[in-house]
């Protein structure tokens, strides 16, 4: 599998986006696969193509932390509800 540097990818995407050339034309002219160029365009639209490796790692870390935070909030809500149930059960048993 051939590796392309970031500048090559950026220039290929710019040909499609800014120069309004077709994907087929650019892929043929540059000797790259049609699907490869489509993938780079998709990455560009998602904001991934022009980010450095460090930025991509940070984005992944942020996604991971957000997911972990969401799980922790759910767990906290479950514990709050359980405390309420046990508290009401405790009050009911002391009233007897």
pTM equals: 0.52
Instruction: Output Rg (C-alpha) for the chain, integer angstroms.
Output: 26
Query: For the domain bounded by 1-50, which CATH number is listed?
Result: 1.10.10
Domain boundaries, the chain: 1-50, 52-96
Q: How far is CA 90 from the centre of its chain?
A: 46
Please report, in tens digits, the pLDDT of each residue of the chain (96 residues total).
Answer: 678 888 899 899 999 999 999 999 999 999 999 999 999 999 888 877 776 778 778 888 999 999 999 999 999 999 999 998 888 887 767 665
* pLDDT for residue 86: 85
* pLDDT for residue 43: 87
Distance of alpha carbon 47 from alpha carbon 25, whole angstroms: 23
Closest among 54, 60, 22 to 41, alpha carbons compared: 22
């Amino acid at each position: 599998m051939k590796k392309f540097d970031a500048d090559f990818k950026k220039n290929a995407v710019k040909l499609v986006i800014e120069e309004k050339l077709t994907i087929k034309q650019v892929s043929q002219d540059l000797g790259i696969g049609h699907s490869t160029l489509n993938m780079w365009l998709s990455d560009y639209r998602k904001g991934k193509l022009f980010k450095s490796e460090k930025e991509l790692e940070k984005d992944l870390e942020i996604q991971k932390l957000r997911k972990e935070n969401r799980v922790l909030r759910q767990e906290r809500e479950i514990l709050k509800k359980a405390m309420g149930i046990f508290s009401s059960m405790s009050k009911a048993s002391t009233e007897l």
